[in-house]
Every structure is written in C-alpha cells, then in structure tokens.
C-alpha cells in the first residue's frame, strides 16, 4: 500500500453561518414547532440546497411568489435576503400571516435607501442584478428612484441632470475590494454623493473575505464550501483568486470536488460561505483525509459575537 501524500489543511475562521442565516433558519424551525407544518417560505430561506432540503423534509413548502401561498392562517416567511415593499403589501391585502426573516443588516440598507429617497436623493445601489437582495432593496423605492451599478464602467456611464442629488447604498455580500473601487469612482465623479453612515457590506462578508485573504498567503489552493447561487460564497472564491491563489474553487459538497486538480497540492485552505452548514466543511475535510495524510489547523482572523433575536411575531408567540 502506498503512503498517502501529506496535506496541510488550514481552516479559515470565521467561516460559514452568519448571524442572519442562523436567525433565518431558527425562524423557520421555531415556526414549525409553534404552528406545525406546513410552513410556507417565500424564496430559498438561505442559498443552500442542504438547508432547504432538510427544511422541506420537516414540512416547509418553498414558494417563489406569494400567490402560491394558500389563504388561511398558515405562516408565510420571508427569507433572509429581504423583499420588495410590494410583497408585504400584497400579503396584507390577502390577510396572510407573515413572518419576516429578513436579516436586520439588510433591513438597515432598506432604511438607508428610504431616508435618502425622502431627502430627495436619487439612490445608486451597488450590487448584482437579479440577486434577491438587490430586488428587495430596489423594491423599497418607487420605480426609477434607484439605479443599479455593478462596476467602475457602470459609474463612468452614469449621466444625471445638473443639480441631481445622489446617494449610494450597497448589497451586503459584495467583494470589499471591488466595492471600494466602485465607491472611489463614484466619489471622483460625484464628490457630494451621500455615503452610508456605516459600511453596508456586512461584518460576516468582511470577516470571511479577510480570513481567506490571509490564508491564501500560506497555501497553494482554496476550497470555498458554498452554493453556486450564494453571492458571498462566489465572492470568497474571487477574493482568493485575486489574492494570488491559482486553484480557488467553489464546492457545494465533497461529491463535487474534482480530485485530479488537487493531486499535487500540499497545502489547502478551506472556508465556507455564510449560508453553508459546518457539516459540509467536515465532510470535505474527511474526504481529503481519505486521500491525503492531513494535518488540520485553524487560522483565526476575527472573533464574531453577533446575534439577532427572532422576529417579534415568534418571540410573542413563544411567550404567549
């Protein structure tokens, strides 16, 4: 029997679930406990198939549109990404029982956009077209009140009538570095543009990107555990690549790993997007341990203590 080749595995910390994702999943689990199945969830509660499938097995029904939720008293939960204003309005008109699991840090961006609009500013949203969070944030304001931008080129192409007051907000899960470049371009072109009082990119996104950047300096390859449609997971892979990692891949689970690509690798960092459960990280480390003599260590670059309480409707129902 040939000896396994050695492999140093650096686990990035923090990685994986953020406070907003924990709250969203706890919201659905608690609603199931209090009200029993079925519980309806509009959109994937978080972008992870394993999480979604586990909840489906417990009696959660995922719907794309409110129209799919039946009339009656069954709970309908809005996902962590947030929804356009028209969604709760429609729910109210249909007298649906809704529970809002929008991450408070996304709600904060919604409020900022609303305040800017009230003050007569046109809002520039830095984000990714068609991402549910972007649809929700744009949907806080009337049509035409927001312009979506995704690159420095988009900034260069902007044209506004003289005297137009501007403000910007951002999606919470963007690349910190890319966003800085876009913001710099905005400030150069529109020096009086109003900025968010605090960074809109959330603590979890920032910390996970910083952790992977630091790890890249010490390893040959990076695996980001996360789903294709998870924005923050995609950004982690890009951050690793831009920090100089020649082999940075996104893997939803161990079965998705293209093993020949890792044949000669002797050091590997593993991180996980904010919607990826820790058991997937463990599964991937175990899959490497079957093929390599692994030495696993953790590189901690930040401590996180963020916690968001459950939505009020559930807290009150729990007490009652």
Q: Applying CB under 6 A, which of residues 19, 45, 51, 138 lies at the interface with ligand SF4?
A: 19
Residue by residue, what is the 3-state secondary structure of 117-184? HHCCCEEEEECCCCCHHHHHHHCCCCCCCEEEECCHHHHHCCCCCCCCCEEEEECCCCCHHHHHHHHH
CB 312 → ligand SF4: shortest distance, Å?
Answer: 18
Judged by CB under 6 A, does residue 41 bind ligand SF4? no
Catalytic-labelled residue, pool 112, 133, 238, 282: 133
- Number of residues near ligand SF4 (by CB under 6 A): 15
The Cα angle at residue 159 between residues 123 and 180, in degrees rounded to 5:
55
Give the H or E element holding residue 24.
helix 19-35
Q: Applying CB under 6 A, which of residues 14, 16, 20, 139 lies at the interface with ligand SF4?
A: 20
Judged by CB under 6 A, does residue 60 bind ligand SF4? no
Residue 167 vs 204, nearer CB to ligand SF4 = 204
Site string for ligand SF4, 273-312 (x = CB under 6 A): -x--------------------------------------
CA distance 78 to 307: 19
Q: Applying CB under 6 A, which of residues 7, 21, 126, 245 lies at the interface with ligand SF4?
A: 21
Q: Is the peptide bond before 229 cis (omega within 30 degrees of 0)?
A: no
Judged by CB under 6 A, does residue 268 bind ligand SF4? no
Burial of 144 (0-12, 13-18, 19+ CB in 10 A): exposed
Residues counted in the chain: 320
Judged by CB under 6 A, does residue 173 bind ligand SF4? yes
Q: Applying CB under 6 A, which of residues 172, 179, 233, 271 lies at the interface with ligand SF4?
A: 172
What are the strands of the beta sheet with 166-170, ordered from one edge?
Answer: 146-149, 122-126, 166-170
Site string for ligand SF4, 175-204 (x = CB under 6 A): ---------------------------x-x
Question: Dihedral, CA atoms, 148, 153, 155, 157, nearest 10 degrees?
Answer: -90
**277 vs 17, 221, 222, CA distance in Å?**
6, 21, 18
SS3 assignment, position 235: helix
Judged by CB under 6 A, does residue 106 bind ligand SF4? yes
CB 280 → ligand SF4: shortest distance, Å?
Answer: 17
Q: Which of residues 222-241 bind ligand SF4 (CB under 6 A)?
A: 232
Judged by CB under 6 A, does residue 105 bind ligand SF4? yes
Question: Dihedral, CA atoms, 310, 169, 150, 193, nearest 10 degrees?
Answer: 180
* Residue 201 near residue 172, CB atoms below 8 Å: yes
CB 114 → ligand SF4: shortest distance, Å?
Answer: 17
CB 232 → ligand SF4: shortest distance, Å?
Answer: 5
* Residue 283 near residue 25, CB atoms below 8 Å: no
Residue 210 is a catalytic residue: no
Q: Would you tell me how many other CB atoms lie within 10 Å of the CB of residue 10?
A: 23
Site stretch for ligand SF4 (CB under 6 A), options 18-26, 116-124, 147-155, 276-284: 18-26
Q: Which of residues 107-166 bind ligand SF4 (CB under 6 A)?
A: none
Q: Applying CB under 6 A, which of residues 79, 98, 146, 205 lies at the interface with ligand SF4?
A: 205
CB 116 → ligand SF4: shortest distance, Å?
Answer: 19
Q: Give the residues lining the site for ligand SF4 (CB under 6 A).
A: 18-21, 80, 103, 105-106, 172-173, 202, 204-205, 232, 274
**Residues belonging to the active site:** 133
């Amino acid at each position: 029997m040939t000896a396994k080749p050695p492999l140093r595995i650096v686990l990035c910390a923090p990685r994986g679930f953020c406070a907003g994702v924990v709250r969203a999943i706890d919201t659905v689990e608690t609603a199931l406990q209090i009200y029993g199945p079925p519980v309806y969830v509009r959109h994937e509660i978080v972008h992870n198939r394993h999480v979604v499938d586990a909840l489906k097995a417990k009696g959660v029904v995922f719907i794309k549109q409110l129209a799919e939720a039946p009339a009656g008293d069954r709970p309908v939960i809005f996902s962590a990404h947030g929804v356009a204003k028209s969604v709760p309005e429609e729910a109210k008109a249909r007298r649906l029982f809704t529970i809002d699991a929008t991450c408070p840090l996304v709600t904060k961006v919604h409020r900022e956009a609303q305040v800017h609009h009230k003050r007569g500013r046109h809002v520039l949203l830095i984000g990714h077209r068609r991402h549910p969070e972007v649809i929700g944030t744009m949907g806080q304001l009337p049509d035409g009140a927001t312009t979506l931008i995704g690159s420095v080129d988009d900034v260069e192409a902007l044209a506004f009538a003289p005297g137009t007051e501007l403000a910007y907000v951002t999606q919470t899960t963007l690349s910190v570095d890319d966003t800085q470049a876009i913001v710099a371009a905005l400030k150069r072109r529109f020096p009086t543009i109003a900025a968010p009082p605090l960074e809109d990119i959330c603590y979890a996104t920032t910390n996970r990107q910083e952790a992977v950047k630091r790890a890249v300096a010490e390893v040959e390859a990076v695996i980001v555990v996360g789903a294709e449609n998870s924005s923050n997971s995609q950004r982690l892979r890009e951050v690793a690549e831009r920090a100089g990692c020649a082999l940075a891949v996104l893997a939803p689970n161990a079965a998705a790993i293209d093993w020949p690509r890792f044949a000669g690798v002797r050091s590997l960092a593993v991180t996980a997007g904010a919607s990826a459960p820790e058991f997937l990280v463990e599964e991937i480390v175990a899959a490497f341990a079957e093929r390599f003599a692994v030495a696993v260590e953790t590189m901690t670059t930040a401590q996180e203590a963020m916690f968001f309480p459950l939505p009020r409707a559930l807290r009150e129902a729990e007490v009652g």
